[in-house]
Structure 1
Amino acid sequence: MSGALAYLLGVFTGILFLLIEKKSPFVRFHAAQSIGIFVAFMVFWVVISMLSVVLGIIPFIGAVAGFFFFLISLVVGFGGFILWLFLMYQAFQGKEWEFPFVGPQVRKMLR
């Protein structure tokens, strides 16, 4: 159950469970993976927002770019929500599903 809760509030619960859980490699893995995935999503949103603002000042291109970035944000946001539910479900089932790139990096970090 703690593994699934590590994803509940993203980085915040990830850090909390990583700090308080010293004995369970399962919970520590999910807590660290939660931090990695949600930080990656935050970086994505910052980059998309900055690009949208910078390109938004250019006539016509700004409108097209804004719409394009809106669609990308919508798709990635929905995908992120589905991923969030999937990761909590996997952790609740007692599985250590690794998100590509983040999961292997988390394993190396926790050794």
Structure 2
Amino acid sequence: MKDRNRNLVATISYFAFFITGIVVFLAEKDDKFIRFHALQSIMVFGGLFGISVVLGLLFGPFSFLGIISSLINNVIWIAWLIIWLVSMVKAYRGQIFKWPIAGELAEKYA
């Protein structure tokens, strides 16, 4: 039962992207598995959010780039959705799945 609860908390760290990652990371002090998933959530989804904001600021003033901006934004959102789903499934199954860069950093600092 403990492993199931642990996996559920790790899964919740991805639920509302980096927001629940922050909450879970601040609440959990001991469990490295949960802290890993919370940190990875913060890094991956915080990074994707930052990229979305920067691209919005870059492409926003240039309406003639609207189609390019829309295509890039759609690709980012599809990637966001895939990363979100894979991360939650892996966490629920009790697996440590490392996304490039963020996974290594999360493992180091968890």
8 Å CA contact 2:45, 2:80 repeated in 1 = no
Q: Deviations over 1:38-97 (max 9, x none)?
A: 1111111111101112333xxxxx2xx210110111121012111101100000000010
1:53-92 equivalences in 2 (<5 Å):
53-56=60-63, 62=64, 65-92=65-92
* In the alignment, structure 1 residue 37 sits paired with structure 2 residue 44: yes
Aligned to 1:59: none
CA distance in 2, matches of 1:37, 1:82: 12
CA distance in 1, matches of 2:48, 2:76: 9
TM-score (normalizing by structure 1): 0.87
When the two structures are aligned, how many residues end up with a matched partner? 103
> Once superposed, what is the RMSD of the aligned Cα atoms?
1.1
Larger Rg: 1
Percent of residue pairs identical:
31
Aligned to 1:107: 107
8 Å CA contact 2:24, 2:35 repeated in 1 = yes
Cα drift, residue 17 of structure 1: 0.8
Gaps of 5+ in 2: 1-7
TM-score (normalizing by structure 2): 0.88
